[in-house]
Structure 1
Amino acid sequence: MTDSEPCSPAGAGGPAGDGDRRSPATAEFLADWRNAAYNCFSSGHKFCREVCPVMQVTRNESWSPTAFHANVVAMEQGELTVEDVAEDYVNCTGCGACELRCPNTLFTGDFYRFRTRTVDLVKRVRALAVESGVHQPGHRRWNELTEQRAHEPVLGDVPVSQEHVRDWAHGLGLPVGGETILFVDCEAAFHRTSVPRAVAQILRLAGVEFGLMGEQWCCGGPAAEMGYRDQARRFAEHNLADWRAGGVRRVLVLDPHDYVTFTEDYPAYFGDAYDVEIVLVVELLAKLIEDGTLTPTVPVPRTITYHDPCRLNKRKGVWQEPRRVLRAIPGLTFHDEDRVTQWSYCSGAGGGLPVERPELTARISGSRMDRAAALEVDTLVSACPWSERPLAEAGRARSIDVVDIHELLAESLGIEVGGSTGR
């Protein structure tokens, strides 16, 4: 059997054969995803279920990774349509834990011939729904406002608009343009302004030369995750054109969501024409500490644990560098999570879930903070501005502070950050 052949007799014909009246978009979707869905459905394993943050707090089998693939099987058999199942696919954070736990990934080389890509499947079903005129009200409104403002409608004290996207840098004297720029995500630019201020001042202390974009728009990643692919592509084209016009060769990224978008979505859009180097700031900072360029000396008397952002640890394999940064800060008492299970934790803040299901995000964040509380810490440290809002709300009920890793390092370097913490 080749990769292009169906995985079961039912997949070879049936409702998808002669006389099929499916839309071209649905037919294309099923052609792309039939094999992967049958391989997941036929294996029968549910290892993915127990590490799924949504399943952990809801126990709703319809929102499990297995169900997401089973729905495709049912669509291929003509039993369901995208209109029947679209709402279920809201209930995914895009964390990727299910993919790491799937035996398709663990047992490569035998009959598990496909790496399960549940995150991509969820994005693709959401896109098919949007293309079919099926919208989730929260996602639709969020992307309408993003389209109008060129930035996500985050809640904060600064008005969300192009005019205010660089307000966080007031007084820092940062230039516009240059071969290296710092890209600041919407949440940090308009709400968590102390985070980019910390990053900018640390980079300046280390002698890293950088500027800001001429006209920065949202990266487009959230639109892509919610199914609004055309909008995501337009935003990506704008940002890349701005980089090229300014002679940008390297983009420094502080937010894991932007990092995934710039290293996965943009290469898929632009292919070999995309020749911009993307650098994750926390990895750069770990290197600068290791080579002695940065030396934290101010003690920070906190008892902490570290929250691995899903898009760093699970999606990109970045987990060592943040811990190197934290272990270089004097005064910290660091209680790390169990490394066997830590990658299964999630804040619930990804994949558009807090836009459509804020109460579910709150439950997932609460569960995450319960694990932190069991370690008897007073601070949870994250490297993702988007995770820090729901985690901070959950932390207040448990007397646990939530601090961004860049802010913590700045404090130990003697930097007065300023700006809004969003807390």
Structure 2
Amino acid sequence: MSSTERAHDPVGGTEEEPAGGTDKEPDDEAGTAEFVQEWRNAAYNCYSSGHKFCREVCPVMQVTRNEVHTPTAFHANVVAMEKGLLSIADVARDYVHCTGCGACELRCPNTLFTGDFYRFRTRTVQLVKAARALAVDEGIHQPGWQRWVEATSRQKSEPVLGGEVPVSQEHVADWAAGLDLPIGGETILFCDCEGAFHRTSVPRAAAKILKAAGVEFGLMREQWCCGGPAAEMGYVERAKEFARHNVDDWRAVGARRIIVFDPHDYISFTEDYPSYFGDEYDFEIVLFVELLAELIRDGRLELTNPVDRVVTYHDACRLNKRKGIHAAPREVLRAVPGITFKDVDHVTQWSYCSGAGGGLPIERPDLTAEISRRRVEQAAALDVDTLVSACVWSERPLTEQGGKRADPIEVLDLLEIVALSAGLED
């Protein structure tokens, strides 16, 4: 099969191979052998079972219908690499087509058909990250990802903005203007790049909620990107540089507890950072939405203003599917007076995704747009006027697609809804 045939999909037509994909000969046999050794058992578990249950919950496969974009193909590639039939150069572009949502892992019988005596979860997301890292190590780059990570390294934050507004350390805390937030302290609020520069209403809502509930917290002296996106794109050493800086900054200001409102940061701080630093990493990582449910439950935050909206909730993939967190955001929404909440259970939402994760919007924005369009249409079928998310990264493509409808659907963050009800909005 030619590379052109391998890359065909119905959204973007026949996808051309990216120009200038390598910067050296991909002949690192030792790296490939180590990769195959680590992932061969998982690959054979998938390949030998013959099932393909994961396909219809995969947001990319739902759109492209391309065999090479499936979780089963990601594992079969490893089998072929072990037998010398493929190299990472042959398949690196295939691994672009994953949002890292984790739906395939939950739907896999290898995950589902195990009893309490044997806890096992298929690790497709980690396999994809490892394949991308192998490609980068062998000098095989996806041009959009390479530019993105290089820009992040220069600016210390992701290049989430176009136009004249600068993304830089000088402006990373502009979102907090007028809130009189201190630097440092035992508890730090970490604001992701998308929130810091694009959807600034979310970190402002977060800070106001914490202050209203009497939670003492501060900001970092110099906040860099969490490094998660670089790691997802295969640039692990760059990711470790960001992580090292952030951990050193936390220690320098005496932080022990880190509050995050972005699920991508939460994944980075609870999975990537412990793998980088081991026992040295001893911070408490608090997910804002779980803290928020606790504050409301304990009466420390009162929601008194009715919010007259008909809403449904979009389960952020990295909360629901990756971390099993689905109860807290629903508890919060049901505590907001005036809201009509039309829920879709969290298991059904295994097949829902915004398409905004795993670097997909950078290399395949056409796919992200179509995945988000389908998610918005699923919400529209419930006759709602608002789609609520707890992930700032999902909100950009969902907002774009919601605004294109003849009957627009507004996309709001859960923290924005709560700030409205608590009377804390700007």
Q: Could you tell me the TM-score, scaled by structure 1's length? A: 0.92
Cα deviation 1:369-416 (Å, max 9, x = unaligned) = 110000000000000000000000110122100001001100000112
- Could you tell me how far 1:23 is from its partner in structure 2? 1.8
Cα deviation 1:192-240 (Å, max 9, x = unaligned) = 0000000000100000000000111000000000000000011101100
Specify the alignment match of 2:231 in structure 1: 224
Aligned mates of 1:366, 1:314 — CA distance in 2: 20
Aligned mates of 1:94, 1:59 — CA distance in 2: 18
1:99 equivalenced with 2:105 (yes/no): yes
- Could you tell me how far 1:340 is from its partner in structure 2? 3.8
Paired residues, number? 396
1:227 maps to amino acid = G
Q: Which runs of 5+ in 2 are unaligned?
A: 1-26
| Residue number among 411, 414, 426 corresponding to 1:405 in the alignment | 414
How is 1:242-253 mapped onto 2 (pairs within 5 angstroms)?
A: 242-253=249-260
Aligned mates of 1:385, 1:100 — CA distance in 2: 23
How has the CA–CA distance of structure 1 residues 109 and 294 changed in structure 2, closer, same or farther, with 3 Å as cutoff? closer
Cα deviation 1:240-291 (Å, max 9, x = unaligned) = 0111111100000010000000000000111111011000011001000001
Specify the alignment match of 2:22 in structure 1: none
Aligned mates of 2:297, 2:345 — CA distance in 1: 25
Asked whether the equivalents of residues 181 and 213 of structure 1 are also in contact (C-alpha less than 8 Å), the reply is yes
2:323 maps to amino acid = K
- Could you tell me how far 1:109 is from its partner in structure 2? 5.3
Aligned mates of 1:174, 1:168 — CA distance in 2: 11
How has the CA–CA distance of structure 1 residues 340 and 236 changed in structure 2, closer, same or farther, with 3 Å as cutoff? closer
1:37 equivalenced with 2:46 (yes/no): no
1:167 maps to amino acid = D
Specify the alignment match of 1:118 in structure 2: 124
- Could you tell me how far 1:171 is from its partner in structure 2? 0.5
- Could you tell me how far 1:113 is from its partner in structure 2? 9.1
- Could you tell me how far 1:115 is from its partner in structure 2? 3.0
Specify the alignment match of 1:76 in structure 2: 82
1:289 equivalenced with 2:278 (yes/no): no
Aligned mates of 1:210, 1:244 — CA distance in 2: 15
1:182 equivalenced with 2:194 (yes/no): no
Specify the alignment match of 2:62 in structure 1: 56
1:135 equivalenced with 2:141 (yes/no): yes
Q: Which runs of 5+ in 1 are unaligned?
A: 1-20, 418-423
Question: How big is the alpha-carbon RMSD for the aligned residues of Structure 1 and Structure 2?
Answer: 1.4
Asked whether the equivalents of residues 86 and 134 of structure 1 are also in contact (C-alpha less than 8 Å), the reply is yes
- Could you tell me how far 1:27 is from its partner in structure 2? 1.1
1:108 equivalenced with 2:114 (yes/no): yes
Specify the alignment match of 1:23 in structure 2: 29
Aligned mates of 1:326, 1:194 — CA distance in 2: 18
Asked whether the equivalents of residues 95 and 311 of structure 1 are also in contact (C-alpha less than 8 Å), the reply is yes
Asked whether the equivalents of residues 83 and 134 of structure 1 are also in contact (C-alpha less than 8 Å), the reply is yes
Asked whether the equivalents of residues 186 and 256 of structure 2 are also in contact (C-alpha less than 8 Å), the reply is yes
Displacement over 6 Å in runs of 4+: none
Cα deviation 1:79-120 (Å, max 9, x = unaligned) = 00000000000000000000000001011259x996320000
2:417 maps to amino acid = L
Asked whether the equivalents of residues 68 and 89 of structure 1 are also in contact (C-alpha less than 8 Å), the reply is yes
Specify the alignment match of 1:89 in structure 2: 95
- Could you tell me how far 1:158 is from its partner in structure 2? 3.6
Asked whether the equivalents of residues 53 and 344 of structure 1 are also in contact (C-alpha less than 8 Å), the reply is yes
How has the CA–CA distance of structure 1 residues 175 and 132 changed in structure 2, closer, same or farther, with 3 Å as cutoff? same
How has the CA–CA distance of structure 1 residues 220 and 83 changed in structure 2, closer, same or farther, with 3 Å as cutoff? same
Aligned mates of 2:191, 2:40 — CA distance in 1: 38
Aligned mates of 1:308, 1:349 — CA distance in 2: 13
Asked whether the equivalents of residues 320 and 346 of structure 2 are also in contact (C-alpha less than 8 Å), the reply is no
Asked whether the equivalents of residues 36 and 114 of structure 1 are also in contact (C-alpha less than 8 Å), the reply is no
How has the CA–CA distance of structure 1 residues 349 and 341 changed in structure 2, closer, same or farther, with 3 Å as cutoff? same
1:373 equivalenced with 2:380 (yes/no): yes
Specify the alignment match of 1:421 in structure 2: none
Aligned mates of 1:315, 1:56 — CA distance in 2: 19
Specify the alignment match of 1:420 in structure 2: none
Specify the alignment match of 1:324 in structure 2: 331
1:415 equivalenced with 2:424 (yes/no): yes
Aligned mates of 1:339, 1:234 — CA distance in 2: 35
Percent identity between the aligned chains? 72
